[in-house]
Amino acid sequence: MVDESGKQLGIMTPSEALRLARERDLDLVEVAPKADPPVCRLIDYGKYQYEQTKRQRQARKAQKQIEVKEIRLRPKTSEHDTEVRLKQARKFLESGAKVKVRLRFRGREIQHADVALRIMNDFAAELADVGEVEVRPNMEGRSLLMIIAPRSQVKKSASKSKSPQQSQEKAEKKAQNAKKPG
């Protein structure tokens, strides 16, 4: 038997333990039922449950949710538009998000899957310095899908670079404001 402060009270019968719990206006909770003799504890069970859920909420807050951004292409997407999508994907990967590249087929375009596969491979090759292919291009309905994840060194530098860069920008603004007469 263990009391609410963690102090050992020794071995006692279940009726004695219940009486003690009622006197102290606490709950008797069996902590280790397989121990010999079983270990019980005096606690306020409602408060215990509240603290448990509070800890679980804090743990969920601490978890980093990985964002997945989507870039959509077509087999007939022009070269310039593809370059724009590459820049967007690069920005997403540098910020630490995964990029899902979807190449959608319309009508008879699906007959030229080899062209689409070449476009996807070129797209992945252009982003090789900031991302690595996590899921190779595969057909899903009338779309060809590929997922690119940020490289590990890019993730670290993205999280570190934001704070020094922001502080440097602030310092530059202060210096410009100090130079202005007024």
- Does 177 reside within a domain? no
- Does 87 reside within a domain? yes
- Model-wide pTM > 0.75: no
pLDDT given at position 66: 79
Q: Is the pLDDT of residue 91 over 80?
A: yes
Q: Are residues 56 and 79 in the same domain?
A: no
What tokens appear for 73 in the block?
A: 């292409």
CATH number, residue 90: 3.30.110.10
Residue that terminates a domain, selected from 29, 44, 61:
61
Alpha carbon separation from 98 to 73, 112, 116, 141, 148 (Å, rounded)? 17, 27, 21, 22, 6
First to last CA, the chain: 75
Distance CA 45, CA 31 (A): 12
Q: Are residues 73 and 54 in the same domain?
A: no
DSSP string, 145-180: EEEEEE-HHHHHHHHHHHHHHHHHHHHHHHHHHHHS
- Does 162 reside within a domain? no
CATH number, residue 23: 3.10.20.80
Chain segment 34-78, per-residue pLDDT in tens? 888 888 888 888 888 999 999 999 888 877 777 889 999 998 888
SS3 122: helix
Q: Are residues 93 and 147 in the same domain?
A: yes
Q: Are residues 148 and 121 in the same domain?
A: yes
Chain segment 9-20, per-residue pLDDT in tens? 888 888 888 898
